[in-house]
Structure 1
Amino acid sequence: MKKILYPILALALATSSCKDVLDIPNLGSLDEERVWNDPNLVNAYLANLYPLFGNWSAGADNNSDQLIGINFPLDAVTVNNSSYKAWDYTTIRRINTAIQKVNASTGLSTEVKNSVLGQALFMRAYLYFNMVKFHGGVPYITEPQELNSEDLETPRNSTKECFELIVKDLDQAISLLPATIQKGSAEYGKIDGNFAVAFKGKVLLYKASPQYNPTNPFGNAYWAEANTANKTAYERLIANGYSLTPDYYNIALQEKGPEVIFAVINTYPNKVASYDYGVRPGSESRGTASSVPSWEFVKSFPMKDGKLYSDPTSAYYKTEAQFLQSYWENRDPRFDKSIVWNGKIYEVSGKMGKRQYTSVGVAAALDDFGINPNARTPSENLNRYSGFFILKNSKLSLKQTEVETQYDVDYVVMRLAEVMLNYAETANETGDLNTAKDLLRKIRQRAGIDAGSDGNYGITANTKEGIREAILAERNIEFSFEGHRFWDLRRLRKLDVLHNKTKFGVEAIAINPDGSEMNLEQAANLARNYQLVESQFKYSLLQVPRSGAQVNIVPDTYYFFPLAQSVLDKNSKLEQNKDWGGSFDPTIN
């Protein structure tokens, strides 16, 4: 028997328990038969593939209108650069190796085989879905290929074929995986049938969406297929005890909550993320925040009655000028739980009564934003800040010295609210408007929006088109900073929301009761004791960033990103996408 120790297995062994390693008499003597007949080694191999699900990222929505920054300057995506490319056949090969070897193993029990194969098949579908999301159809390889083999010369499957193969892998995974892994189980953190069923609904939602069906975006037959899958997922999850977390703020922060379908487990000190380091104001972190909300996103939160401030039928209707001077008042409760603004109560690190300031000359230098000429020291944050910070999912109990190294909140990959809004969207497109609106009402009820006399929580849409827009708007708020927004706009062929658009922040300047500007030294002294509140400032808009590229360029060619030239050079059978100089059509119809 040929002796081999896969590189990925070597790393997996390093992460397995000490007992498992000590039980192996001689690591150097491992051979293939030993590896694939030992459940400990097989599970260690598989565990080392789980990082493909990612972890918390403060910049998950950098590509969207939720955060400031121009991520799409002119020619941000080209054939020759590495931006927006997804081509992970190294991991695909490792997954295919596991599937082949476990299937052939004679030393593993049926239970172990089913568990490993179910997880591996799901992982393969998950990775291929990501590639198809970026590029359209890709070579759907299901056998481990030799790195130096001519078999790597594989053409692309059509996009439709890829979706069918993804669903086939998911269906097989569902048949093998445990139906439910309980939150208190030692197996929690592994893929189960609930996650696979929910993810299948998401895959089929994409398949039906306008991105892949530009000639028939909302009338194609795939919507019915997607609706069936999402209805099945939702009803299964409810039957298995899943529910919306009562307090929106606690969805992730109270780990293993009722809404979490799948999460990546973080545990200090072994595994942590840098999320808090990226979102906290600089004075409460170890450096300036890397991601901050835009004024455009701040405006998009509804008022407490569920309607926009600009809606004349809202009880909280305001003109643009009025809203700018009181934007924090009477908002959807998710606003207070997601955003930090100038003067907001922000009791971080146990600092009771603390307010966060952003006004230049008043706030700490690592927090300020503005161009007030009366400030002795100009702000150095004009290209990276907006006058707002992210509160959502921040672990406020962490001290400044702990932020960078101790954020260990479990990363929520999928939750019930996503399944609900996926289902709402497919229900709407298949004519079941009542179900779509009912699911929207449930989301808004949990958010804390007023029900109103009609019990509709501010939802006024009664047509398929109106409900479609209401669902998209709800997704924008409900999934803020979770990395959904750009992909939702792209999936629905709404990149015009981002194209040729600028972004803005809000400068705050302290004022006296008569409206005149307050002496900055006096204002700073009051702020030290948190005695300045939001209404003691006046507010004005500033375009951000102040220098460099200031407009996003997001053309229609970005509905499908190109294959990298380096990939094409290695495989003569690959065709480039048609909008990027090739002949491959990445759409379905």
Structure 2
Amino acid sequence: MKIIFYPIIALLLATSSCKNVLDIEDLNSLDESKVWNDPNLVNAYITNLYPLFGNWIAGADGNSEQLVGISFPLDAVTVNNTAYKAWDYTTIRKINTAIHKVNESTGLSSDVKNSVLGQALFMRAYMYFNMVRHHGGVPYITVPQDLKKDDLQTPRNTTKECFDLLIKDLDAAIALLPATIEKGSEDYGRIDGNFAVAFKAKVLLYKASPQFNPSNPYGNAYWTEAHAANKTAYDRLKANGYALTEDYAQIAIQEKGPEVVFAVINSYPNKVANWDNGVRPGSESRGPASAVPSWDFVKTFPMKDGKLFSDATGKYHKTNDDFLQSYWENRDPRFDKSIVWNGKIYEVSGKAGKRQYTSVGIAADLDNFGVNPKAKTPSENLSRYSGFFILKNSKLSLKQTEVETQYDVDFVLMRFAEVMMNYAETANETGDFNTALDIMKQIRQRAGIEIGSDGKYGITASNRSEMRDAILAERNIEFCFEGHRFWDLRRARKLNTLNNTTKYGVEAIAINDNGTEMDLDVAVDLAKSYNLKENQFKYSVLQVPNTGNKVNLVPDTYYFFPIAQSVIDKNSKIQQNKDWGGTFNPTME
């Protein structure tokens, strides 16, 4: 009897009937033919691969300007470390095994085969795409290699070959997957044709991008291909009922909403995530927040009219000094739904009327930020905090004791707004400025930005180049804390935006009506009853972290990360990328 080493524990995760599973006499020694001819076991196997889609990560945008922290100190990425390497051939082998075994199975119905193969082909493309956007072309292996019999010295496919194979896998998956899995279906959370079509469009957007076409970033022929795919995705999903969730704050909190294209299912107590525990102030969590917004990012949110505070043509124009003292006033409504600031109403854990404070000497030790010498206890958060916290996607009903174990909001991996913005980008680059403008207006209308006298919601772009910049800036706000920003800048070859930059936070010190500093004991008493408001403070900017390395270094070599030297040592046919001492060209050129 052949012994199979697949993760049989996955049987417990299967969404199908358990009847046949419970009939198996020995789960540690199974005839392989039984596994691949039993639909329950096959579905269990493919279910056990779904963790590859990830889950909520509080620091998903930690490598951009959105969050405090220096992700790229000197030599953060080298050929000898593991940082920013994507080389998961263990999961690829599991996927290839499923494809191979299901194809040769004689005991599965065609419906089961198609379902499993469609999911597996998509997963393979998803995994390889992540490798390609990290490194450029990689060995695109499509068979389950035998460690003893097969030649494992496989060279890298060119980047163009990888994109071609990605699209081939995705097209095959789309042909096999159910067109739509309804939000009320027991299969909700599995891959369907809508997600696959939208993801294919995203892959082609990357293929056309400046990252992969540095010498011809916006005139290459791949933009036409990308635009066709993105228009198809947009039209299809819109026809199938996908739409922007009315309230930006409810995109994830309202599970199975109209905007969700694909979500990783979380359900207490079986599966939870760590979002709230990572973003809440320490006094409302199980320890210090692990990710907090930077002042640099806070400034990038538009005002209510859709223009930056510094735009002299704006209705809410302010000088830098005036803005610092009233930054929360008249902002894009997404600001209020994404950021917690000093003195903001923050009714967490069921505390009606609660305000969150960050001022040292007033706020709890795990919440404070600042260097006010009058505070009895100095802040210990000067290297990790900024005076701001993340509100977006928080489940405020959770009590402090519950945030670590009961956050079970579904992780939204792709939403319709991304499909829209991808389409807007390709439309703009192929000459359809008006479509790009219309989509931008829809995004801002949902956000709650004022329409303005010209009906453009503060959008001032009037040509292709200006719209390109406007789309990138809009993505920064719309998808904040969702893990898009660094990859967007890299795809657009704008890493110089992050290079040689520092980050800042804002200290708050309570003041009297005449502007003098308030006695801290008085301020503490007011704060206890939440009667100390944000306009009763003066604000100043502090650099963070306050010790150690303070500058992000993001050189052009980071447009393609190196292959780990340990991989090359094991496989002499793997060439290193040309910017890292090798000869391999990771671009499409």
Please state which band the TM-score falls in when normalised by the shorter chain: over 0.9
Whichever residue aligns with residue 127 of structure 2, its letter is L
What are the Cα deviations for residues 249-295 of structure 1, in whole angstroms up to 9, with x where unaligned? 00000100000000000000000001100000000001000000000
Task: State the 1:12 CA deviation.
Answer: 1.4
Does the CA-based 8 Å contact 2:125-2:169 persist in structure 1? yes
**Secondary structure of the residue that 2:583 maps to in structure 1?**
coil
**Secondary structure of the residue that 2:541 maps to in structure 1?**
strand
**Secondary structure of the residue that 2:299 maps to in structure 1?**
helix
Gaps of 5+ in 1: none
**Other-structure match for 2:158:** 158
**Other-structure match for 1:215:** 215
What is the percentage of aligned positions where both structures have the same residue? 76
**Other-structure match for 2:69:** 69
CA distance in 1, matches of 2:149, 2:25: 34
CA distance in 2, matches of 1:452, 1:31: 69
What are the Cα deviations for residues 24-75 of structure 1, in whole angstroms up to 9, with x where unaligned? 2333452111110000000000000000000000000000000000010000
CA distance in 1, matches of 2:261, 2:183: 10
Task: Trace 1:277-292 onto structure 2 (pairs within 5 A).
Answer: 277-292=277-292
**Other-structure match for 2:26:** 26
**Other-structure match for 1:12:** 10
What are the Cα deviations for residues 300-327 of structure 1, in whole angstroms up to 9, with x where unaligned? 0000000000001100000100100000
CA distance in 2, matches of 1:21, 1:539: 63
* CA 7–29 in structure 1, closer or farther in 2 if over 3 Å, else same: closer
**Other-structure match for 1:325:** 325
Question: Residue 248 in 1 paired to residue 233 in 2?
Answer: no
**Secondary structure of the residue that 1:27 maps to in structure 2?**
coil
Whichever residue aligns with residue 313 of structure 1, its letter is T
CA distance in 2, matches of 1:136, 1:186: 38
CA distance in 1, matches of 2:21, 2:340: 48
What are the Cα deviations for residues 470-493 of structure 1, in whole angstroms up to 9, with x where unaligned? 000000000000000000000000
Task: State the 1:146 CA deviation.
Answer: 1.1
CA distance in 1, matches of 2:26, 2:359: 63
**Secondary structure of the residue that 2:508 maps to in structure 1?**
strand
Whichever residue aligns with residue 373 of structure 1, its letter is P
CA distance in 2, matches of 1:440, 1:6: 50
CA distance in 2, matches of 1:398, 1:149: 54
**Other-structure match for 1:350:** 350
Task: State the 1:152 CA deviation.
Answer: 1.2
Whichever residue aligns with residue 12 of structure 1, its letter is A
* CA 535–235 in structure 1, closer or farther in 2 if over 3 Å, else same: same
Question: Residue 451 in 1 paired to residue 465 in 2?
Answer: no
Task: State the 1:19 CA deviation.
Answer: 4.0
Task: Trace 1:62-461 onto structure 2 (pairs within 5 A).
Answer: 62-461=62-461
CA distance in 2, matches of 1:249, 1:21: 42
CA distance in 1, matches of 2:394, 2:231: 32
CA distance in 2, matches of 1:220, 1:457: 31
Does the CA-based 8 Å contact 2:10-2:45 persist in structure 1? yes
**Secondary structure of the residue that 1:540 maps to in structure 2?**
strand
What are the Cα deviations for residues 140-185 of structure 1, in whole angstroms up to 9, with x where unaligned? 0001001234421100000011001000000000000000000000
**Other-structure match for 1:542:** 542
CA distance in 1, matches of 2:581, 2:20: 53
CA distance in 1, matches of 2:30, 2:537: 69
CA distance in 1, matches of 2:457, 2:198: 26
CA distance in 1, matches of 2:453, 2:169: 47
CA distance in 2, matches of 1:28, 1:90: 21
What are the Cα deviations for residues 58-116 of structure 1, in whole angstroms up to 9, with x where unaligned? 00000000000001000000000000000010100110010011000110000000000
Task: State the 1:7 CA deviation.
Answer: 3.2
Task: State the 1:360 CA deviation.
Answer: 0.2
**Secondary structure of the residue that 2:542 maps to in structure 1?**
strand
Question: Residue 476 in 1 paired to residue 476 in 2?
Answer: yes
> Which has the larger displacement, 23-32 or 57-66?
23-32
Task: State the 1:454 CA deviation.
Answer: 1.0
Whichever residue aligns with residue 554 of structure 1, its letter is V
Does the CA-based 8 Å contact 2:449-2:457 persist in structure 1? yes
CA distance in 1, matches of 2:26, 2:558: 52
* TM-score for the superposition, normalised by structure 1: 0.99
* CA 34–357 in structure 1, closer or farther in 2 if over 3 Å, else same: same
Does the CA-based 8 Å contact 2:338-2:392 persist in structure 1? yes
Whichever residue aligns with residue 437 of structure 2, its letter is K
Does the CA-based 8 Å contact 2:292-2:385 persist in structure 1? yes
Task: Trace 1:562-573 onto structure 2 (pairs within 5 A).
Answer: 562-573=562-573
Does the CA-based 8 Å contact 2:99-2:120 persist in structure 1? yes
Task: State the 1:23 CA deviation.
Answer: 2.1
Task: State the 1:20 CA deviation.
Answer: 4.4
CA distance in 1, matches of 2:24, 2:193: 33
Question: Residue 3 in 1 paired to residue 6 in 2?
Answer: no
Whichever residue aligns with residue 463 of structure 1, its letter is N
Does the CA-based 8 Å contact 2:248-2:446 persist in structure 1? yes
CA distance in 2, matches of 1:283, 1:270: 26
* CA 4–507 in structure 1, closer or farther in 2 if over 3 Å, else same: same
Does the CA-based 8 Å contact 2:21-2:40 persist in structure 1? no
Does the CA-based 8 Å contact 2:18-2:40 persist in structure 1? no
Gaps of 5+ in 2: none
Whichever residue aligns with residue 35 of structure 1, its letter is V
Aligned residues: 587
**Secondary structure of the residue that 2:401 maps to in structure 1?**
helix
Whichever residue aligns with residue 11 of structure 1, its letter is I
Does the CA-based 8 Å contact 2:136-2:560 persist in structure 1? yes
Whichever residue aligns with residue 78 of structure 2, its letter is T
What are the Cα deviations for residues 403-425 of structure 1, in whole angstroms up to 9, with x where unaligned? 00000000001000000000000
* CA 502–413 in structure 1, closer or farther in 2 if over 3 Å, else same: same
CA distance in 2, matches of 1:149, 1:131: 26
